[in-house]
Amino acid sequence: MFPSQAAYEDPAFPEEQLRMLASKTSIKDRFRQVADEANRIRDKHLFTLTPGDVTHPKLAQLDELHIHLVMPKVVKESYDDLIQGETMTFSRFIEEIQGLQADRPQSLTLL
């Protein structure tokens, strides 16, 4: 949960700044479990390590469930251009999280 579980549980925290990254060694049919987790977050991310695990029909199913695949660069590069265009590297996901953190106004600390 990004930025934190506390932020997720805080109803005042903006939903568009929340992210979830689930992890499965291979996605098979277990990706459906991810759709039922973290209900405040519409678009979820799923990290996978298994090359060749993603097919075009499976990618369409993931898209319907608003699940975005995240994988290491070397795994992503093993897929065709369509699948590569619809997935993100783990480093790109981290950049997105860092960007959200940078965009959040810092609270003032009163001494």
The catalytic residue positions are: 8
Cα gap 86→69, rounded to integer Å: 8
Count the neighbouring beta carbons within 10 Å of the beta carbon of residue 48.
Answer: 22
Strands 88-89 and 21-24: unpaired
